[in-house]
Structure 1
Amino acid sequence: MEEVQPSAVQMPAPSLSAAPAAAAAQASSGFVKFLKDSFAGTVGGVAVTLVGHPFDTVKVRLQTQPTTNPIYSGAIDCVRKTLQWEGIGGLYKGVTSPLAGQMFFRATLFSAFGASKRWLATNPDGTTRALTTADYFKAGFITGAAAAFTESPIDFYKSQIQVQMVRAKADPAYKPPYTSVSECVRATLRTSGVKGPFQGLSATLLRNAPANAVYLGSFEVLKGRAASHYGCETKDLSAAVVMAAGGTGGILYWLAIFPVDVIKSAMMTDSIDPSQRRYPSIPAAARALWAEGGVSRFYRGFSPCLMRAAPANAVMLFTVDKVTHLLNE
């Protein structure tokens, strides 16, 4: 009897449509993950804005007030005077910019973080591996750099509106060139075109990449350590543990780069007219701020920033974490 070759019956010809179908399925899966990361990030971003914006207003005003004849003696005095002069709405000056921008900024931030983690977990041959501690910090660094391009315009418009009261109190003759975010958008586009909203982008990049490496990296690592300690998966950690990890990550963010944030605030609240700027670059801003007060000048607004860091980031990262797990169930 003629012998039948095993390959003839055990190895059917591959379907020509298998590879395209697999690629389409992978692309669809990647897009779904992007949408989930974006939605979770947007919800978390709205939460952090509502909780943290008053602290941010105090921080920016303290960072940018005049060195001679300052308007506020400290964070508490800034809150008191803001409420006295402007009511509760004063603490939310410029809030429309970060609220309107959350969809873009947080979508970029958390979709980039998710994509970075997936990329780092993929070997050259397509197989996957567990992320190391260093990988989480690398993913945070990549995320911070990517997110700077959406965060910078949001911070710029917010900061321009937040400092108007400081300037009005320092100079009774001061007349705000615009009184709303929409007016500020039109003015900057008229003055500098599409480059206008990116005033201070270089400082945002310098701040964001290392800060988010510390921030997001420490959050993931702390969650992993807690899950190992309690013998559970990270999605099963209690709200208190996740919020503690988020709050710690937020504090570490500001401890790592606060002086750079002061430079960023100076550049973003500078004149929108390039010919009138005092802080046209990072080196120029650093020299000018140093001349105003040395090391201490780079830590103005530090206390309200730390006061904001724990609760605001605890709420945001907890929200993002839980929404992400709910979407993946």
Structure 2
Amino acid sequence: MRDDSGLAQTAKDLLAGTVGGVAQVLVGQPFDIVKVRMQTAQAGTYTGMGDCARRILVNESPFAFYKGTLTPLLGIGVCVSIQFAALQSVKRFFTQQNLRSGRGGKTGEELAAGQLFVAGAWAGLANGIVSGPVEHIRIRLQTQPASAPLYKGPWGAITSIYGQHGISGIFKGQVPTFLREGLGYGAYFWCYETLMQREMRKRGCKREEVPALWAVGFGAAAGYALWFTIYPIDVIKSRIQTDGFTPSTRQYSGTLDCARKLWRGEGIAGFTRGLGPTLLRSPFANGATFIAFELAYRALS
């Protein structure tokens, strides 16, 4: 491992993570709005992701695919930087543990599956503090009617929601967000880091010597690991974050109530709606995230 000071190392993690987050948003946003529209619409509104995308294009213009982008562009950059900083910090902690116990190879950096999952889960939970409100605001903007929008941009949504419902309104849907982030990013980073470590062993090289393009394939696989682990939770989160704020306007009293009603009303199909654009988006967005992170991290090193 490098002898960087803790502060310098964390700054490097944060900056490289921000680069990865910006790449993720720019590549993935058009797919994401289709996913959210399908997740939150009434059953039968769209015949599929092609129909949903066509309606957005025809009724709202091509620019609608980037509706609400400013919030994630600013917020997801912060989220992903937090993810990678938390991940790298826990990985270094486990590496030191391995060195003391004589595990993990000569450098201690070959982490076990459980260590990788815990590091990823911690990264997800740390990220969830920011991603919850960021995604809430983004989803409100993505789903508001084009003809009569409720909010004039991200700041308008934040001030309006906070003014009427306080901090709890901003953090609406935080329980399923933490559940999603912990489980999902545990699987996400476990998959990516396992593939990266295997490639390092196969080549007998250091991490920075693995061709950066391999990060695209590893990132794509990690994205699928994430979504196949947590997609039903993501649907519940989206439903709650587009639900009303007051008892008289709310459809769901909480996470479990939402899950029960969705199951009774639509069965398994309700928990998989919008999965198509998510799986289509995943290799592009997550491949872009990891190659951007790896290239930035190596440049900063």
- After TM superposition, the score normalised by the length of structure 2 is 0.91
Q: CA deviation at 1:83?
A: 0.8
Paired residue type of 1:248: A
The separation in 2 between residues aligned to 1:234 and 1:157, in whole angstroms, is 37
Alignment partner of 1:51 is 2:51: no
Task: Kindly tell me the number of residue pairs found equivalent between the two proteins.
Answer: 293
- Is 1:100 the counterpart of 2:74 in the alignment? yes
2:221 is aligned to 248
Identity of aligned residues (%): 33
In structure 2, the residue matched to 1:136 is 116
CA deviations on 1:196-232 (whole Å, 9 max, x unpaired) are: 2110010001111111011011101101112222332
- Kindly indicate whether residue 168 of structure 2 is the aligned counterpart of residue 192 of structure 1: no
Query: Which amino acid in structure 1 is aligned with residue 36 of structure 2?
Result: V
Higher mean C-alpha deviation, range 79-88 or range 125-134:
125-134
Shift of 1:292: 2.1
- Contact 2:98–2:108, Cα closer than 8 Å, also in 1: no
Mapped contact 1:38–1:107 kept (Cα < 8 A): yes
Do residues 42 (structure 1) and 21 (structure 2) align? Answer: no
- Structure 1 residues 86 and 139: alpha-carbon distance in aligned structure 2, compared to 1, 3 A threshold: same
Q: Does the 8 A contact of 2:32 with 2:277 survive in 1? A: yes
Structure 1 residue identity aligned to 2:235: V
1:294 aligns with 2:263: no
Which amino acid letter does the alignment assign opposite residue 91 of structure 1? F
Say if 2:56 is the partner of 1:82: yes
In the TM superposition, what is the alpha-carbon distance from 1:183 to its structure 2 partner? 1.3
Alignment correspondent of 1:62 = 38
Single out whichever of 226-235 and 125-134 deviates more from structure 2. 125-134
Residue aligned with 2:267, SS: helix
Q: In structure 1, give the amino acid aligned to 2:300.
A: L
* Residue 188 (structure 2) pairs with residue 215 (structure 1): yes
Alignment correspondent of 1:270: 243
Equivalent-residue separation in structure 2 for 1:85 and 1:268 (angstroms): 24
Report the CA distance between 1:124 and its aligned residue: 10
Q: Which residue of 1 aligns with 2:283?
A: 310
Distance in 1 (CA, whole Å) between partners of 2:199 and 2:52 is 38
Q: What's the CA shift for 1:46?
A: 0.6
The answer to whether the 8 Å contact 1:235/1:322 transfers is no
Q: Which amino acid aligns with 1:52?
A: G
CA 1:103/1:59 → structure 2, altered by over 3 Å: closer, same or farther?
closer
TM-score, normalised to structure 1's length?
Answer: 0.84
CA RMSD of aligned residues (A): 2.0
- The letter for the 2-side match of 1:85 is N
Does 1:149 pair with 2:129? Answer: yes
Deviation of the 1:275 alpha carbon: 4.5
State the match for 1:117 in structure 2: 91
Asked if structure 2 preserves the Cα contact closer than 8 Å seen for 1:191 and 1:273, the reply is: no
In the alignment, the residues of structure 1 paired with residue 77 and residue 176 of structure 2 have an alpha-carbon distance, to the nearest angstrom, of 22
Shift of 1:274: 5.2
For 1:149 and 1:284, locate their aligned partners in 2 and report how far apart those are by CA, in whole Å.
Answer: 23
Which residue of structure 2 lines up, in the alignment, with residue 8 of structure 1? none
Structure 1 residues 311 and 231: alpha-carbon distance in aligned structure 2, compared to 1, 3 A threshold: same
Question: What CA deviation, in whole Å up to 9, does each residue of 1:167-202 have, x standing for no partner?
Answer: x7xxxxx94332422211011111221222110010
Residue 104 of structure 2 corresponds to: none
User: Within 5 Å, which residues of 2 pair with 1:167-182?
Assistant: 175-182=148-155
- Contact 2:20–2:77 at 8 Å: present in 1 too? no
**Match for 1:108: what amino acid?**
I
1:258 aligned partner: 231
Q: How far apart, in 1, do the equivalents of 2:279 and 2:99 lie?
A: 44
Aligned counterparts of 1:325 and 1:133: Cα–Cα separation in 2: 25
Residue 45 of structure 2: aligned partner: 71
Deviations 1:15-61 (A, max 9, x none): xxxxxxxxxxx9x8111111101100111101110000010000000
What SS does the corresponding residue of 2:155 show, helix, strand or coil? helix
- Aligned with residue 143 of structure 2, among 151, 163, 166: 163
Which structure 1 residue ranges, 4+ long, deviate > 4 Å from structure 2? 124-128
Cα separation, 1, equivalents of 2:98 and 2:200: 29
Distance 1:259 1:306 in 2: 13
- Partners of 2:236 and 2:108 lie apart in 1 by 40
Distance in 2 (alpha carbons) for counterparts of 1:292 and 1:257 = 20
